[in-house]
Amino acid sequence: MNWLFGLFEPGHALGLLALSPPGWGGALLTGLSHTLEIAIGSYILGTVIGVGGAFGKLYGGPIVKDLLAIYTTAIRAIPELIEILLLYYLVPDIVNRFLLSLGRPRIDLPPILVGTLVLGFVLGAYMTEVLRGAILAVPHGQVEAARAYGMTPLQVAHRVTLPQMLAYALPGMANLWLNLTKDTALLAVIGFNELTETSLQAGGTTKAFMLFFTAAGILYLIISALSGRLFALAERRARRGQPSIRGGGI
């Protein structure tokens, strides 16, 4: 194994990737951790918005339904890059104007927080659609049967709707997660130092663009492979006791 680590020492072919300076490996890993932090944060936020949005779209009043329709349509019709740019300046601007109008001082909104809020808001639109479809896919008879047993609405949701819906929602949710990890790269355009931006900075400083872009690409591939596995496991768990969807009909 020693020859392998030797490759990563300064002066060797891959020395630029060494974990401690002057190698940029550590900086890349910091970028990776920023990418993951933002992705996880906005995924949670997006899921919360998605659950609210899905229930609102199905059971909300007419105005709520229409507003949600506008939200999901508009967000999905405009390029994410433009949404991110617009909201990235707009959110702190509005928050600070609001505070100044109340006579309070400006607040410090860290870029990582704004990035998470913005991506979560965008993801929420997609998540709403995925979860709405999943809720609709739960056979209505089962819900009725649960009610007939005298379960409260909360019990119905907890015991019947949510577990079943999860099985239908997970493939879509897995796709959204994979897209989200890639969409975090768009924050590079704003100068936020996530993985893609860090690899550009490292490339710009050392002029070894190929090396750093490849390294970043491999890290992204590792994320997608690992999370693909995790979602597959979760899906199998959620599907316990259900007939397979595939193989029916065609």
Partner 1 sequence: MRALIKPMMQPHRLFLLAMGIAIVAWAILTLDWSWLPTYLDNGLLLKGLWTTTYMLVLSWAMGLFLAIWLGLAQAAGPWYVALPAKGFCSVIRGTPLLLQLWFLYYGLGSLFPQFPWIRESWAWAYLREAWPYGLFALTMSFAGYEGEVMRGALLGVPKGQLEAARAYGMPRLTILRRIWLPQAIRRVLPTLGGETVLQLKSTPLIATITVLDLYQVSLQIRQDTFIIYEPLLLLAVLYMFYTGLIVLAFRFIERQVPAKLG
Partner 2 sequence: MKLKTLIIAGIAALGLVGTAQAKVIKVGVASEPYPPFSTMDASGHWQGWEIDLMHAICKDQKLDCKITTVAWDGIIPALTSGQIDMIMSSMSITKKREKVIAFSNKYYETPAAVAAPKGAKFKATPASMKGLTIGVEVGSTNQAYAKKFFSKTATLKTYQTQDQANQDLAAGRIDATIADEMALEGFLKTKQGEACCELVGALPYDNETLGSGIGAGFRKSDTALREKFNKGIADVRANGEYQKITKKYFTFDIYGSK
Residue 67 CB, nearest approach to partner 2 (Å): 12
85-98 in b/e burial notation, b at 16+ Cβ within 10 A? eebbeebbeeebee
Work out which of 15, 41, 60, 111 binds partner 2, going by CB under 8 A.
111
Cα–Cα separations (whole angstroms), residue 100 to 70, 87, 109, 198, 248: 30, 19, 15, 34, 60
Would you tell me how many other CB atoms lie within 10 Å of the CB of residue 174?
A: 18
Binding-site string for partner 1 from residue 172 to residue 201, where x marks contact by CB under 8 A and - marks none? ------x---xxxxx-xx------x--xx-
Residue 158 contact among partner 1, partner 2, none, beta carbon within 5 to 8 Å by kind: none
Task: Give the count of residues interacting with partner 1 (CB under 8 A).
Answer: 42
Any contact of residue 59 with partner 2 (CB under 8 A)? no
- What residue has token string 């939200």? 71
Contact set for partner 2, span 2-21 (CB under 8 A): 20-21
Any contact of residue 226 with partner 1 (CB under 8 A)? no
Instruction: Decide whether 18 or 84 has the Cβ nearer to partner 1.
Output: 84
Residue 24 contact among partner 1, partner 2, none, beta carbon within 5 to 8 Å by kind: partner 2
Report angle CA 132, 39, 58 to the nearest 5 degrees.
Answer: 10
Would you tell me how many other CB atoms lie within 10 Å of the CB of residue 215?
A: 21
Cβ neighbours of residue 168 closer than 8 Å, sequence gap 6 or more: 133, 134, 137, 138
The binding site for partner 2 (CB under 8 A) comprises 20-24, 26-27, 30, 85, 88-90, 92-93, 95-96, 98-99, 104-109, 111, 114, 189-193, 197, 201-202, 204-205, 207, 209
